[in-house]
Structure 1
């Protein structure tokens, strides 16, 4: 004989009592946390420090930069608090570069390996540039042969700087780079400046040209390359691909005025980065124009003085 037994009604009541108890105990905390984030969306994000209690773990999930202790979500790094639905994370103020496919990065060759180069891209691990992902002399598109592998050091060797694009990721999380476009490749005739990656904003183009005949490459990994201006006509067309120029280790002759302009732009970037100001094309142009308008505009070194740096920051901060 088959009989059916219904579940007791007390279970539903018990669930309601438990839920009511949780909301009664932590309702104020949740409400304050929600209101706080709603207000921050209109202004700036909340800054936190390690060990600071963010909210209760009863109804929120911990994300990167947090941990749970005594049913409380606590920040483990210093940074800005972010929330997506019920996921609470802390974006660190100072951290390594977190790459995405399509990002423009500036890196340094760290090691030459069989059919690949290891590249320091200011990330958690070295990036990989495969031999099959670079341009060959003459701009020909063909399969890489053993003879090409024997000549890898004629393309890139340890210490060389290059600009590349993130193509994909390997199984271990390392990013794969490529330099197949003529706007990518070895870097010469300039100066490298390193800033926190969080200060480099994603722009429509990360190749900038200032009126002072200085080119800037804003790498999303925090490496910025400043060099003398190269005319676009010199790089157009696959037929005009000059291997000796593209893969040369010899810098061109740079006049004194161009050297001063490169140093000026480098000092401007250092000052803005020291004040944690995000770097954009319009901001860099405004900062350069302000320095040239000053009476001491001809003196590049004076920009690094504290009072001049504060004045520069105050002048460009109004445009943020």
Structure 2
């Protein structure tokens, strides 16, 4: 965990509370791994009696292994390297990504993915609207704009990484496709870890939450099947897997309550991003519930006080987790 400097006006009391919370978080982090976080020129403890391999972000000077970048020390067998935190998105095959269409061209869509190069989604890599397995024809190509147009937000999967670094995408499942009635948020990619599930369905709120590995997060109304999903039952505070085929009745408009939930979850993500906390479903929903329990207005969630409250809550949550 790397704490960021909070660029918000803090009162003297808030500064003291925030500093104490940071110190508790740093002590918990250092207790778990004494050499977890390093900055440039920090010494990395290694056993020189055993052979070790210098990896990325390290350099040996006068018999001492030093960090050449800021990040977290990782050890894989004999390899010692520093994983940079605020690096750009590094794609892997199978990544779930959220992007925005920036061009419709011949038999393909170009998609912005928060990466050095745009992704390419071929027409042949899309599921037919009727679900029929067949070759794409010239008629399908003429109807491409009936599927996606510029500025549409969509969810896809990384199919292949070309030698030139470009990404080939595919959307051959019902869980992929166009995203509507929601918000697209952007965070640093390192805040989202690769996990088994990136699609989440908050059942009690009727909200879809997609954590893209590329740092794009979608929060929107649940309007279609996304299988498999993670369903959150807030009444029992449990998270269970879902492969249900039940869909909510399509509505011509999004209710005020749903829009408020989308905005509240979106602001929870923004606060976590400002603080540099790693995001998953548990942390996001806990921040969402915290704002409700403290009776904090949606707009006020972006203020100084709630940032301090979230930091204090995160320190307490991690301490309780270590006890268990």
Q: If the length of structure 1 is used for normalisation, what is the TM-score? A: 0.73
What does 1:40-79 correspond to in 2, within 5 Å? 42-43=32-33, 45-52=35-42, 54=44, 60-66=52-58, 74-79=66-71
User: Which residue number corresponds to residue 239 of structure 2?
Assistant: none
Give the distance between the partners of 1:43 and 1:72, measured in 2 at CA. 20
Q: Normalising by structure 2, what TM-score?
A: 0.72
Pairwise CA RMSD? 3.3
Of stretches 95-104 and 184-193 in structure 1, the one that deviates more from structure 2 is 95-104
User: Which structure is higher in helix share?
Assistant: 1
What does residue 115 of structure 1 align with? Answer: 107
Match of 2:82 among 83, 90, 107: 90
Alignment equivalent of 2:130, drawn from 138, 141, 146: 138
Q: 1:213 aligns with which of 206, 211, 221?
A: 206
Offset of residue 157 of structure 1: 2.4
Instruction: State the 4+ residue runs in structure 1 displaced beyond 6 angstroms.
Output: 68-72
Pairwise CA distance, 1:318: 2.7
1:165 aligns with 157
Unpaired runs of 5+ in structure 2?
Answer: 1-28, 228-242, 319-324
Tell me the SS of whatever aligns to 2:317.
coil
* Structure 1 position 139, deviation (Å): 1.9
> For 1:224-279, what per-residue CA distance to the aligned partner results, in whole angstroms no more than 9, with x for missing partners?
00001226499x999x9xxxx9xxxxx94222222111111011011112112111
Q: CA deviation at 1:74?
A: 4.4
| CA displacement 1:23-63 (0-9 Å, x = unmatched) | xxxxxxxxxxxxxxxx979436532223445479x965432
2:178 maps to: 186
SS, match of residue 137 in structure 1:
coil
Deviation (angstroms), 1:220: 1.3
Are the aligned partners of 2:175 and 2:225 in contact in 1 as well (CA < 8 Å)? no
Q: Which of the pair has the greater relative contact order for Cα pairs under 8 Å at 6+ separation? A: 2
Instruction: Give the count of matched residue pairs.
Output: 269
Query: Are the aligned partners of 1:189 and 1:252 in contact in 2 as well (CA < 8 Å)?
Result: no
Q: Which segments of 5 or more consecutive residues in structure 1 lack a partner in the other structure?
A: 1-38, 246-250
